[in-house]
Every structure is written in C-alpha cells, then in structure tokens.
Amino acid sequence: MPDPVRYERQTDIGVITLDRPDNRNSMTPELLDAFLAASAAARTDAGARCVVVTGTGASFSAGADFKSTLQRAGDQRAPSERSFAMYEPFLSLLDLAVPVIAALNGHAVGGGFGLALVCDLRIGALDAKYGANFVKLGLAPGMAISYLLPRLIGMARASELLLTGRLVDGREAEALGILNRAVAAEDVLREAMAMARTIADNAPLAVRATKRAIHRGLELHIRDAAHVEAYAQAESLVTDDAREGISALLAKRPPKFTGR
C-alpha cells in the first residue's frame, strides 16, 4: 500500500499529496504521522520555492475520522493538549518559509477545511463542499479555524458559517474569498501548479520575505507592519536577485533569479 501522504519535488515546486481516497483523506493517526513527515521533508527541501498540497479522490480531506481513535490511547496529557496534538501535523505547514498553495481536489470539511486555511492560497473545485460544521456535531471548532476564517473573509461572514455550520460550494467559496479561484475538479491541480510556477519564477528571497511580512502584519498595527516591511525590503534591495530583477525590468527581458 502506498504511503498515506507523500512528498515529492517537481523541478522547484514541492508537492504534498494526501493519498487515502477510500477514507476521504480523513485524519487517522496513520495519515497524520505521514503528513508530519511530508511537511518536514518540504520544510527542509532547499530546492523548493513553493509547495502545493493536494489529495486524491473525491475529497481533499473530510477532517476527523470518527471511526478512528484520534487522540492516542495512553496519552496522559490534558484533553486540550491531546486535541492540539491531533491538529499539530496539519499546523506544521505554518513552519514552511515558502508559499503554500492548497489544490483542493474535492471536499474540505472540518479539520480538512482547517488544513486548507493554513495554506497561503487556495484553488478549489467548483462542485466540492467547504466549511467547518463543528457546531452541527456538538463541537467547538479546532485548528485555529475561528482565528483564520474571520481574517480571511471578515467577522460577519465567518460568524455565519461557523455558527450555522453551513457548507458552501466552490462558487460561493470563491465569492466569499475562501478560494482564490474555483475551477472544474479536473483542472484544480493544473491551476495550482501554474500559480506555483508563477511564484517560483520570482526572486525566492523576496518571496519568503513577503510571506513573513504578510503573516507578521496580521499581528501588528499598520505602522509597525510598515516598519517590518521596510526592514525586509532594505535587506532584499542588496541581493543579487534584486539587481537582476531591476536590470531585467529595464531591459524588458525575463529575470533569471538565483536565490542570492
């Protein structure tokens, strides 16, 4: 049987694939352990300039597998710590310095929706369902969904989805701003790889600095965020890539970035 999650690199784009379609790529201990290993492989891959996360089958991830023991037997930690540990493999994507694109080949619900939200960008299938239906199961949300979703689509819209537990299709998800783009299911991975290619062709140091600034900016006042950006921009201005990018612009030719 193939690994439940695998990591591979295609040129300078890393791809993490959830591969348990028979179980809707649900959060079993086996899949979570494999995801943590794949995420670590992506994080330490110096050749990857962008990472795409996708799945096989009709679901990107259906979240918790309630037929499985998610919080491992014998774990003596407090319930909240066991709950956090269950989500930590998916949250490990936050440690990647390069941009991460979710190629949502199918349904992304509950923890699977959370996995999509921790990615920087999302391409989804038009006919798939997206959302966090925790309240319909008598549960409060997990995996920082209540933190991420309001920042992505606004408090009022996020409150509606989280408090009703309603799922939305790809068209509505795109209109709300959950998805950057909604396309036919068969085009999702191709569209995500094309976006990854555009990102990977940019100056890698500048891309990483921009991602850091975006994430830090969510935690800062606007003037403090401007200071953080100014520091990163000043550092980037003295790189070979900045000189190459400006030279290429003036010469009206494609730049050739080296990551220096």
Sign of torsion, CA 116 122 123 129? positive
Cα–Cα distances (Å) from 258 to 99, 100, 188, 255, in that order, read 17, 20, 29, 10
Burial of 161 (0-12, 13-18, 19+ CB in 10 A): buried
Q: What confidence tens digit (pLDDT) does each residue in 135-188 have?
A: 998 888 988 899 999 999 999 999 999 999 999 999 999 999 999 999 999 999
Query: Can you tell me which residue has the tokens 């950006």?
Result: 229
**Would you state the pLDDT for residue 8?**
98
CATH topology of domain 204-251: Lyase 2-enoyl-coa Hydratase; Chain  A, domain 2 (1.10.12)
Domain with CATH 3.90.226.10 in the chain: 5-200
Q: Which residues contact 212 (CB under 8 A, 6 or more apart)?
A: 97, 232
The end-to-end CA distance of the chain, in Å, is 41
Domain with CATH 1.10.12 in the chain: 204-251
pTM of the model: 0.91
* pLDDT of 72 higher than 80: no
Question: What's the rounded Cα separation, in Å, for the pair 61 and 34?
Answer: 14
Q: What confidence tens digit (pLDDT) does each residue in 235-258 have?
A: 888 899 999 998 998 999 999 999
How many other CB atoms are there within 10 angstroms of residue 147's CB atom?
Answer: 13
Q: Where does 5-200 sit in CATH, by number?
A: 3.90.226.10
Beta strand pairing call for 13-18 and 5-10? antiparallel
Tokens of 119: 């990615």
Q: What confidence tens digit (pLDDT) does each residue in 165-175 have?
A: 999 999 999 99
* pLDDT of 39 higher than 70: yes
Give Cα 223 to chain centroid, integer Å.
27
